[in-house]
Amino acid sequence: MNKSVIVTGSSGSIGKAICTVFREAGFSVIGVDIRPETSYCDNFVEADLNKLCKSSGYVKTTVASIRKSATSPINVLINNAAVQIVKSMEKLSIDDWQNTMNINVIAPFLLVQALTPDLRTSGGCVINIASAHAFVTKPRFMCYATSKAALIGLTRSMAVELGPEIRVNAISPAAVTTPMLMAGFQNKEKMLDQVRQAHPLARIALPEEIANVALFLASDAAGFITGASYSVDGGITARLHDPE
């Protein structure tokens, strides 16, 4: 294919799945994460996305490292990295808000801004990993839900501004089977089953299912899709949970 894909948050479960699926499709994969994990990508750049939002010099060095790692034209940027702070509104701090917005919204913007020349040259695309929380949420997820709603707004704005050369889309997953999620339900199988049943498909997504949608959005088959948010949520955002 002679194409490179950049995947932030490449050391997490969804990030690893995205890296694997794109490698299998023939892409050269550049992983970006604060935690070194190189086995799922062809090249790896260690980066702190929170720091990225505080230093223009750090942006330049990080992007220079990404470009140096690219063995072929940069065709796809996948903003997958995110932080999820779960606290009641009364306990949220300014630092909680700043860290969440930095990593979940501002860092994706800065990476797209810096890599726009590369993506214009390649006729590439951007894929932002948002969340079902952008549309429906629950108590204690205020920072996260707000940031993901902002990321979808950013996706639409970028699609308008960067077209026609660069397509920009978002994916909004619901619950995904990751070690972090499963650890939270350890010894709570009844509660986990309730989460499964809350989805009309009566199960939780696999990381590979999110990755496969990303691969589709990066393909020529999605050539007329931009500014969209794909809900990969098992139907949960379509469901009204009123008492029967």
Length of the chain: 244
Specify the residue for token string 């809900």: 231
CA angle centred on 13, ends 145 and 198, rounded to 5°:
50
Q: Does the annotation count 144 as an active-site position?
A: yes
CA angle centred on 111, ends 220 and 16, rounded to 5°:
65
Closest CA to 126 of 70, 75, 66, 77: 77
Closest CA to 50 of 42, 58, 40: 58
Closest CA to 8 of 143, 125, 111: 111
69-86 in b/e burial notation, b at 16+ Cβ within 10 A?
A: bbeeebbbbbbbbbbbbe
Specify the residue for token string 């223009």: 56
Give CA–CA dist 244/242, Å, rounded. Answer: 6
Give CA–CA dist 126/110, Å, rounded. Answer: 12
Exactly one of 40, 58, 144, 230 is catalytic; which is it?
144
Enzyme catalytic residues: 144
